[in-house]
Amino acid sequence: MPGEFRRLPVWSELTMLMFLSDHIDWIKAFHVISVIAWMAGMLYLPRLFVNHSEQPVGSPQSEMLKSMEQKLLRRIVNPAMIATWVFGLTMAYVTGAYEDTWFRLKFLLVVAMSGLHGFFAASVKRFAKDANTRSTRFWRIINEAPFVLVIAIVILVVVKPFE
């Protein structure tokens, strides 16, 4: 009848879980792809900061690096981090991994990686304002942090200690 609303079918939690379980391999694949993109950006961004910190303020090289940092963060690193979280939390829910000790440790490390991501995002803004106060040496050292975190995360995922 005109003016009546048709009730759309509502998925129950069980139906959603079954759907996601049937597509877990796709979820895993997109999780791995997003992690790779996120880590590529997390490893490249501080390298740009190293180069940027060596350039005089206002120089053409400094302006070019500002643009590169902003584009990398907005176009690759931020979306990849969001996708990593969405696919990762979906897998944890579907598989029940959130109950495992290895997963809880991995979760803490991913939270740390996300915090580092936030620090890098704030640093992009500081460089854009020509307000970097960190040395080249600092950026060279912090450049290693994402790699150390990802080594520990991969070991936890593959070896699954404490099971």
Give the pLDDT confidence of 136-161 residue by residue, as tens digits: 999 999 999 999 999 999 999 999 99
Q: Which residue has the tokens 């079918």?
A: 9
DSSP 3-state of 5:
coil
Percentage of the chain beyond pLDDT 70 is 93
Task: Please determine, for residue 6, whether its predicted confidence score (pLDDT) is greater than 90.
Answer: no
Convert the pLDDT of each residue in 66-90 to its tens digit: 999 999 999 999 999 999 999 999 9
Considering the entire predicted model, what is its pTM? Answer: 0.89
- Considering the chain, what is the average pLDDT of its residues? 94
Cα torsion through 17, 152, 77, 128, rounded to 10: 150
